[in-house]
A = this chain, B = another copy of it.
Amino acid sequence: MAVRVADIRAAALTLFSERGYQATTMADIGAAIGIRGPSLYKHVGSKQELLAQIMTATMDTLLENHEAAISGCEDVTERLRRATEAHVRFHARHRLEAFVGTREIRSLEEPHRAEVLRRRARYEHGFRKLVADGVQADRFRVASVKLTSYAILDLGMGVSVWYRESGDFTEDQVVYQYGDLALRLAGAR
């Protein structure tokens, strides 16, 4: 049954990304994995619940990856590099989650929407703190801590839109080069 719930979520993610949340029905999701409507409702409460689970899990993974990337690393420059690498790697790998996360935030109802927005604010704040710490330590030089951290976050969003495994760059190439680019944005010495 654990596997089944994962299958349902994966099917929902694919359908939400292909046709949008509004145009997807629970029957579509069931049909994609060969489960009838009534059976489907044994596993998930509603389409809204599925969307909330997908978006909350996406933010939780980003937050965990961020923590893992910077924990045990003291150097402010390396912390920003690692956090950016984790950010870009997630967005290269989880393009559908990023796409649906951006596109369907309006489709989330409360309290789910507030829960996702709270996690996003926490994630943004993590990057802002990394930039601010570097400025404070006189290692970074920026016009605005907030805009610089937004620009670094933008890089991940962009990667989720254009990156393809079949393209000119491997995931590692994008990850490492974008890590360097984040340090440029921060004016790292």
Residues in chain A within 8 A of chain B (CB atoms): 18-23, 99, 102-103, 106, 143-144, 146-148, 150-151, 153-155, 157-159, 161-162, 168-169, 173-174, 177-178, 180-181, 184-185, 187
Q: DSSP majority for the A interface?
A: helix
Residue of B nearest to A105 (CB): B161
Distance to closest chain B CB from A25 (angstroms): 11
**Whole-angstrom CA separation of A68 from B133 in the bound complex:** 39
Distance to closest chain B CB from A87 (angstroms): 12
Distance to closest chain B CB from A13 (angstroms): 15
Within 8 Å CB of A103, what residues of B? 20, 99, 103
User: Which of B143, B168, B178, B181 interacts with A180 by CB under 8 Å?
Assistant: B143
